[in-house]
Copies of this chain bind each other. A is one copy, B any other.
């Protein structure tokens, strides 16, 4: 499919967001190695295009919402979570988006429509259904997005959610970030059909397979899906073929990857695909790209420094936020 190219400002926004995510996650990795961030983390280097294409469609003011997985830094940042509350959360500081109580796997910011990044595989899907139910009952134009990995399609919650979304024709967009692996196990060992999208027919819903490294192609497919949802026709399953450059989580060296696989994917880096296109179209120069990258690195660095200086939550807050 030839996707219509976006306007220069739209492309700039997406580029900026991808660079921000990349720089932020590189910092997260460093902070982990330095033990400034503890616990675990799941980086999305290589998958940034999905997050920014998503963000282009999410209108929190309209009531749109998003749920995604523990690999959710990219989505949170693309949707507009500030770098400061982001880093503060990962460090467990009081200024974190969730006051430090959530951590890397549990990012929530209702002001940008982010219900949460879910740490239990498949758990976010039915919750997005509920958000879509609200839209349906209230006759609003809101559209609701849920993201999951290729490994998540084998859990019961996934199936129940696709079925219910189809039966109730809910305004939901189900986005699979198929990065070829669930933890350390390749997709083909756990799923008997070549594509996740091959399962949509079981629910009578449309499915689209899209190049997950091409933010514009993703944007176009999601646009269709949004229109489909808003027309009352129900859910769409979108499968983005993508790749994570790093291991599953910080302790994983990804030794299970066949040699050369990473290198091949690095050739199709989502940031460079967009940047190259913008340069070819005269919307960006290599020098401007470098300046932008540099600016963003500085912003990220500043946010890290800010977060480092923030206090931890007072232990008096321990038993707060349990009950509404």
A contact residues vs B (CB 8 Å cutoff): 154-160, 163-164, 166-167, 189-193, 198-199, 201-205
Contacts and interface: CB of A to CB of B under 8 A. Distances in A.
Contacts of A158: 156, 159
Given A156-B160, A159-B159, A167-B191, 8 more contacts: A156-B159, A163-B190, A163-B191, A192-B204, A192-B205, A198-B201, A199-B202, A201-B201
A127 to B, nearest CB: 15
**Most B Cβ at <10 Å: residue of A155, A157, A163, A190:** A163
Nearest to A198: B202
Give the copy number. 2
Contacts of A205: 192
A167 B154 CA distance: 11
Nearest to A204: B192
A189 B167 contact: yes
Contacts of A160: 154-156, 159
A167 B193 contact: no
A157 B203 CA distance: 16
Contacts of A156: 155-160
A203 B154 CA distance: 10
Contacts of A189: 167
Nearest to A154: B163
